[in-house]
Structure 1
Amino acid sequence: MTESPESPNIIEIQNLQTRFGQHIVHQNLNLQVKRGEILTLVGGSGSGKTTLLRQILGLEKPASGNVKIFGIQRYDGNSGLIKSIRNRTGVLFQQGALFSALTVYDNVALPLRELRILDEKIIHDLVMLKLDMVAIAPEHAYKMPANLSGGMIKRVALARALALDPELLFLDEPTAGLDPELSESFVQLILAMRNELDLTILMVTHDLETLAALSDRIAVLADQHVITVGTLEEISHFSHPFITNFFEHMHVKNPIIDNKESSWKTEHTPS
């Protein structure tokens, strides 16, 4: 089974249900992520954001419902198709999740080596290319994660997520733990990578400035399902207690957000 080239959606979730014993986390949850967009998933504590992300990644099976990525059923049991999904996706985990016993170089090389088809010389060239893309200088390639700053850890983790040239990128709290200046710089890097590599991105964040700067659309998870999906402006006018509370502290003063709203977003938001 392969994805239809005309399919407008990279991810399609239909009637998903998640339960832990008698506790229902998701009920009749539906969500579509369009090709080429950045969609941000927000929700309160206990709403099941992380669980949903794990289900899309194939780390946790839902009780029922369909999860399709690239038109492929995530849970159909076909190991070949599941591997093809994995090779077409990248994940930036919260706090980076670099392997502490591996150098920067080996962290980025790991997904390339797991393919078992590339010569080490090719792997070297690809690793150095990815590090250059995220502004990590060659002299840092053989440092250990413990010797990196928080911002560098995020950049190395992004290089690893992009190692296989994915079509779909998952971002889990990408700016968590960064000061405002580093956060703004990392947001700009994500936007640059999205444009350069034509990525589709699904992001989970609670940071309002990151959400405003990056999101084409926002999906709000509450009451066990996605209650609404829309642009930042559309979501802010949706009547629901969680949304009211979520946006009441939003005071966006970051110029990158204004620039994105006025130019980039108008040109690139998928129809």
Structure 2
Amino acid sequence: MTTQVEEVRLRLPHIELAAHLYGPEDGRPVIALHGWLDNAASFARLAPRLQGVRIVALDFAGHGHSDHRAPGSDYALWAYAHDVLTVAEQFGWQRFSLLGHSMGAITAVLLAGAMPERIERLALIDGLLPYTAEAEQAPSKLGEALRAKLALANKRKPVYSEMGRAVKARMKGVGAVSYEAAQLLAARGLMPVPGGYTWRTDARLTLPSPLRLSQAQALAFVQALACPVSLVLAEQGMLLAQPALRELLETLPFTIHRLPGGHHLHLDDEVGAQRVADCFNPFLGSP
């Protein structure tokens, strides 16, 4: 499906982010948030099918064409939430909806739970809660993160002699994707280097988290949600593979859609994108 998309750069006070804009300028405001190691192209098939909305599909910091965070900074979920708020401020949006996939969905939940007065609706795709850790795990988790941070200087990104090799590698990455989906993500996520191509993503994105929320803390954000939530679950995705999460979903006042497909069902093919759009169109476009 072809559509008009506008490439923009957003100069925020603390960082410059890239984004794709879709839809009419007077459409209902939506900020779209992609998953870990993906980019704004994650919504290339879905966004054109969403009606009556103005979508700002971000490249998260460190991803795609957005700037990397400053030396010494990290990529905590709450830092992404601050970025999203700052983007909304730049567009003059006091109230807006969030469309999130995977890590983007998790970020959306944290932001909506923390600042319910700003978020109108949540449209989530196969993502809800961050990975958690309990108090007794904190020392080992911090030690793991510090060791990985020290070792990062000696690691090098892979270099692919041709783009097709990178596409095939992405197919097998986190949340395996179709060849067509990998092409879309790679076209935006690769950059030329001597010897071929490598990923634009900041290498620090692969570091383990030094601190994680506890299960109780993560659930508190879900329980603090005050807006309508529509959640798409992929039958072969990540959420339905977690029994505890399936039990939690039965207790939440969400509108839940179970659709065939994998974790990137909104991007893998045109059929999946249309199915997700059919779920979200009456939700995001309604008053």
Q: TM-score normalised to the size of structure 1?
A: 0.28
With the length of structure 2 as denominator, give the TM-score of the two structures. 0.27
